């Protein structure tokens, strides 16, 4: 539901306004002189930022590696071909 607020009230209660937008997901139309001047609402979530609640859905929708997937083969080959860790440090 879109709520309305005067520009004066928006300035006076800006912190509360932002909290209602951020935490309750509310949208506001700001009125100036009784006419709509702007609409303000929650910012879209960035693709790289998710909540822990969303983890289960993300894991369910992730593509799975197939048994004959070339990527899986490359990863396994990289793991097998890693150089060993030296016994002694050359810096000592």
User: Which CATH number do you get for residue 17?
Assistant: 3.40.1620
Question: Does some domain include residue 13?
Answer: yes
Per-residue pLDDT of the chain (92 residues; tens, 9 = 90+): 689 999 999 999 999 999 999 888 899 999 999 999 999 999 876 556 667 778 888 788 887 766 667 887 888 889 888 888 777 777 76
Residue 36 lies in a domain: yes
29 in a structural domain: yes
Contact 71, 64 (CB under 8 A): no
Output the pLDDT for position 48: 62
Global pTM reads: 0.48
Give the phi and the psi of residue 31 in degrees, each rounded to 5: -100, 135
15 in any annotated domain: yes
pLDDT at residue 79, rounded to an integer: 87
10: closest CA among 25, 34, 31? 31
* Domain ranges, residue 27: 2-40
Q: What is the DSSP letter of 87?
A: S
What pLDDT shows up at residue 55? 81
Residue 47 lies in a domain: no
Output the pLDDT for position 53.
79
């Amino acid at each position: 539901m879109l709520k309305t607020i005067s520009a004066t009230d928006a300035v006076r209660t800006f912190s509360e306004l932002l909290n209602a937008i951020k935490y309750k997901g509310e949208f506001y139309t700001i009125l100036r002189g009784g006419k709509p001047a702007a609409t303000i609402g929650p910012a879209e979530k960035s693709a790289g930022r998710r909540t822990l609640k969303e983890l289960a859905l993300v894991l369910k929708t992730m593509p799975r590696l197939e048994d004959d997937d070339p990527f899986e083969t490359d990863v396994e080959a990289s793991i097998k071909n890693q150089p060993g860790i030296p016994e002694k440090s050359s810096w000592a």
